[in-house]
Chain A
């Protein structure tokens, strides 16, 4: 059973990772959480407009999976991608500036919250078309294979993407051609207001791996170490040329689908149950109880991140808007 095995890999990670590594996982999750909380605040104050989807609650998935990658590996995400982008190493300043629509933003203010992109970081984009990122990830893998490179592609998408043809077409090609892609499905049970079992005939999503002849596992997406362990295995397999894998990370978004979602489709009780499984509290508990990390050390990390986030907001706020004269630039190469 997939779940049992991954509890073991999580336990192994807890015992074998250096304290500094575990603290880094903690720091990244705290960074994402605080970033998203600040984003909500800035949205409410009108500093951020438009479509905006927060990742709070799901931090363990992005952080655990991306920690299993090298810097040169590629990441593809969705419109709910602030967390993946930060976990890949983006400076919160340029991410916040993008949300503010500023020219200093990671996509120069052209993309906004849903279209973060950083070629140097190999963060290959947030895609607002559900399922749109999967063929792209497959193609990145194709190029890596073509160039006989060592890189791996890690592709994040929601449960809502599974009914798309693009999901099935991508898994088929990736498996057929043995491409180095790790497909990470963030199953947070909802696609907007629709429950996963009302959208997909097979709600154990990792089982879609089997018809496409690749390994499929379901992991606890509220446990960063479990996600990390499973991704390490999938990445090793991809890097060795043995092809793609599918990881289903079971998780929960603490907030609404977007900033304008009144969340009418789930109960407060359900939300409370998941909040008790908060991935950050989860790791905090493990660190203090099983690795005897001092509470104070974690508090320092939180304070340091808070300063970083304040700096990010200041930077975003003080940055200039893109110039209207440059509106037409960048549509074509060489422009």
Chain B
């Protein structure tokens, strides 16, 4: 199996899916040059009809992707930084998410959006936000948050083949993380969580970049004979509730780690589900580890303090274990 980093996994998935389906095409700012690496070189394979640079017009080109999908193509639309979705909120939330339902199921919307999110070191408030929670209460969208190269490839390929608008959120700090990625048709279904590490004492539901952090904490705590189960939901919509509930059923304790803000975040959403459906199996209150409710600051020490980290995951685990 080839060793790929996160960015190479994206590039491979895009190339394979574009090879497979001539109706797919790529659009976004500077995708031809592919300065961030994810789309680099695709222009040479697929030409400028299928790798299209857009102006800096998020509302315009995101909406154009919606229209293009409705007329029979399968656009893969890059929105660079996920914070720029705010410029295209109407097109994503009012149009893409609702059109199929509003049209009585007629409109077809096979669109994949890709965007980089998260604190990545000094990118400051308008480039560092974790924005998927803002889409959680918009029925009609699917939300994907891969935590490593192998899932990245498999989930992105499934997203591209899905007939719904899917947003794939790529954490900006995971770029260099390398692992073995299956070659060829490696598909990870949307809506299926992964147990990244099995354990008995506590379940840590970790999202995106929190997964490698939770794994490190689990390694560390194993030395103290604490057995941590790390569960990566991989997609937030659809959400694999069953996997989460059955893990909590086994460990009776849960910590949810997410880089989004505490209020109204993905962790809050999952916590509510667990409290509602697994209250009886809980031996301790549900604990969330999330970023503080401040815009992500520029200053490196402030940024580190604002964003959920390993120390806070560890403290939360110790708290629910009463240790």
Contact = CB atoms under 8 A, between A and B. Distances in A.
A114 B126 contact: yes
Given A51-B124, A128-B127, A193-B35, A110 B297 contact: yes
Contacts of B83: 129
Contacts of A328: 292-294
B122 A112 contact: yes
A321 interface: yes
Interface in A175-204: 191-194, 198-200
Contacts of B292: 327-328
A107 to B, nearest CB: 8
A51 B127 contact: yes
Q: How large is the interface on B (under 10, 10 to 19, 20 to 34, 35 or more residues)?
A: 35 or more
A165 interface: yes
Contact of B126 (A101, A129, A166, A199): A129
Contact of B30 (A98, A107, A192, A321): A192
B35 to A, nearest CB: 6
A215 interface: no
Interface stretch (A6-14, A156-164, A303-311): A156-164
B305 A327 contact: yes
A331 interface: yes
A148 interface: no
Nearest to A324: B305
A41 interface: no
B305 A163 contact: no
A264 interface: yes
Contacts of B58: 164
Given A114-B126, A324-B302, A193 B60 contact: no
B298 interface: yes
A237 B169 CA distance: 47
Interface in B106-124: 121-124
Interface stretch (B49-57, B198-206, B215-223): B49-57
A129 B57 CA distance: 11
Given A101-B298, A109-B302, A327-B292, A49 B57 contact: no
Contacts of B306: 327
Contacts of A331: 293-295
A70 interface: no
Interface string B76-89: 00000001101100
Contacts of B33: 192-194, 264-265
Interface of B: 29-30, 32-33, 35, 53, 55-60, 83-84, 86-87, 121-127, 292-295, 297-302, 305-306
21 contacts: A51-B124, A101-B299, A101-B302, A109-B298, A112-B122, A114-B127, A129-B83, A129-B87, A163-B57, A164-B57, A164-B87, A165-B60, A191-B56, A192-B35, A200-B55, A261-B35, A264-B33, A324-B301, A328-B293, A331-B293, A331-B294
Given A49-B122, A164-B87, 7 more contacts: A51-B123, A110-B295, A164-B56, A191-B55, A194-B29, A324-B301, A331-B295
